[in-house]
Structure 1
Amino acid sequence: MSEALEFASSSAALLEPYVPPASSQSTAAKPFVTLTFATSLDSSLSLAPGVRTRLSGPGSKAMTHYLRSRHSAILVGINTMLADDPGLNCRIAGASSQPRPIIIDPHLRWVPKHSDKVLQICRAGQGLAPIVLTGLQPEEWPEGSISILTEHGGKFIHVEPKKTASGGRGRFDWHDILHVVSQEGLSSLMVEGGAQIINSLLDSQYHSLVDSVIVTIAPTWLGEGGVVVSPARAHDEQGVPIPAARLSDVKWHPFGEDVVLCGRLDKK
């Protein structure tokens, strides 16, 4: 497996105002939610849908794993799971615990296999098996997938999809997602992506659910056609376009060649 990463205590101190408190309790009504991702100068997460794109340098990558050490769960969407085959664990040297992976997979597109990195890491004792949130009913879950996931200590949980106005595929309501996270005894959640997940959480109706935002900005342009972080357009009562979201209490910290932006969403 990959080698352990080091993250200086002086760097960790810079992030302290934006991470869950060490005394966070699982009995809280809502988990502490951190939205974090790496982006290019043109707000892209990757070169194209399904194309794995490395943006973080060594310093900001270590920072991301430190953030994982401070959260009890880490969440990604199904597109990230299929495109990246992520490990979803913490590799900070000396970490005392691992975050529980949460996968948003409304239609069970992920078919767990023993060769999946997240399950390999679990068998090696370096991470935890995922909880998969799906809109399918238990009788629709494939028996093979149930068997492999249960074998590793993971499981499926049904979440009722929120129907879209256009009649397309249902999406989960973030209140329902966080309710499940709390019910699982997880006191903090690190939301890492991908773009669909990030953009949905940046919708104004969910701003009150997000406790901090930590964004790594890489000094590169990916160009047109990238997967972009850009939430839906917002309008005022007169129908005039307004900014979809804005951060306050902002701090900027350099980590190698990258810059890390920390802030909190303005509550509307």
Structure 2
Amino acid sequence: MENIEENELQIIDWLNQHKTNVVSKGKPLVTLSYAQSLDGSLTVRRGMPVGLSGPQSQRLTHCLRANHDGILIGIGTVLSDDPQLTVRLVSGRNPQPIVLDSRLRIPLECQLLRRQQNKAWVACAKTAEENRQSSLLKQGVELIRLPRRGDRGLDLPALLEELWRRGIESVMVEGGAKVLTSFLTERLADVAVITIVPRWLGGVNVISRQRAMDHLPSLSNARYTVFGRDVVVFGVLEWMER
């Protein structure tokens, strides 16, 4: 466990250094963090969650959550996993959950809305059904109303500006595939911490092929650390000039 804790500390120290650099520019640090198989799959098929990470890399995920102000997922992850997005495996503060849900499909009974403290903020389209907006507001849910950007979905730069205004200086983006692809193709992510597990799935890839572009980033000064059976790669996102 001592080596695992040293590896966690190494990644957290590295993350905090980059957070200082990004925050000084007046924007939140955006970290992509997820687990994938050897063939780059997140799950076997959409709507069917698969537990990929081993116990050591799961603990790292909770450490990362505790070191971010916010944690962001898409509505698909809520509907399939009903996650808690807490730091149960380590001591620390739970991040503020943020759900991208343009049409407000989020169930009122999901775990992120049932809890009394740190209830999820829901980012939706300004044109989302008014009755649905009213129902959520009556339950004490905070809505972040955003414009749409054509086939790109919600205006993510506007979302990051609003999160910054609300005091969110770092955001951990966990998925799913559509959300991760959007933050990559729109060049909104700063760093990545990715867990690679030693198995093949042949399922849903991290990058949605319909949205993929020729100018995806690479990891600058990538580092690799072993957590139990898994390998974690982390680095700064670097784009080639278009």
TM-score normalised according to structure 1 size: 0.79
Q: Which moved more, 1:193-202 or 1:10-19?
A: 10-19
Aligned match of 1:172: 154
CA distance 1:119–1:27, shift in 2 (3 Å) = farther
SS in 2 for 1:10: helix
Q: Which has the higher helix share?
A: 2
2:148/2:155 contact within 8 Å kept: yes
Matches within 5 A, 1:24-43: 29-43=26-40
CA distance in 2, matches of 1:234, 1:48: 22
Distance 1:8 1:119 in 2: 33
Shift in Å, 1:199? 1.0
SS of 2:150's equivalent in the other structure is: coil
1:244 deviates by 2.7
Q: Which residue of 2 aligns with 1:130?
A: 120
Letter in 2 for 1:12: E
Letter in 1 for 2:81: D
What is the CA-CA distance between 1:93 and the residue it aligns to?
Answer: 3.3
Maintained 8 Å contact 1:18/1:262: no
For residues 157 and 27 of structure 1, do their structure 2 counterparts lie closer, same or farther at Cα, with a shift above 3 Å needed?
farther
Shift, 1:181, TM fit? 1.1
User: Secondary structure of 1:107's match?
Assistant: coil
Match of 2:130 among 123, 135, 140: 140
Percent identity (aligned): 33
Q: Separation in 1 of the partners of 2:16 and 2:158?
A: 21
Tell me, yes or no, if structure 1 residue 107 matches structure 2 residue 103.
yes
Matched, 1:86 2:65: no
Matched ranges for 1:1-268 at <5 A: 9-21=5-17, 29-95=26-92, 97-113=93-109, 116-120=110-114, 122-123=115-116, 128-137=118-127, 140-142=130-132, 143-148=134-139, 150=140, 154-164=141-151, 171-203=153-185, 205-206=186-187, 209-223=188-202, 226-230=203-207, 232-235=211-214, 244-268=216-240
Quote how far apart the aligned CAs of 1:89 are: 1.4
Structure 1: distance between partners of 2:18 and 2:38? 33
Q: Which runs of 5+ in 1 are unaligned?
A: 1-5, 165-169, 236-242
Superposed structure 1 runs of 4+ greater than 6 Å apart: none
State how far apart, in whole Å, the 1-side matches of 2:32 and 2:24 are: 21
Q: CA, structure 1 residues 79+250, in 2 after alignment: closer, same or farther (shift >3 Å)? A: same
Aligned length: 235
Aligned equivalents of 2:26, 2:120: Cα separation in 1: 22
* SS of corresponding position for 1:80: helix
Gaps of 5+ in 2: none
C-alpha contact (below 8 Å) 1:107/1:136 kept by paired residues: no
Is the 8 Å Cα contact of residues 122 and 142 (structure 2) preserved in structure 1? yes
CA distance in 1, matches of 2:17, 2:236: 15
**RMSD of equivalent CA atoms:** 2.5
Q: Distance in 2 between matches of 1:249 and 1:144?
A: 47
C-alpha distance in 2, partners of 1:267/1:188? 21
SS of 2:231's partner is strand
Amino acid in structure 2 at the alignment position of 1:262:
F
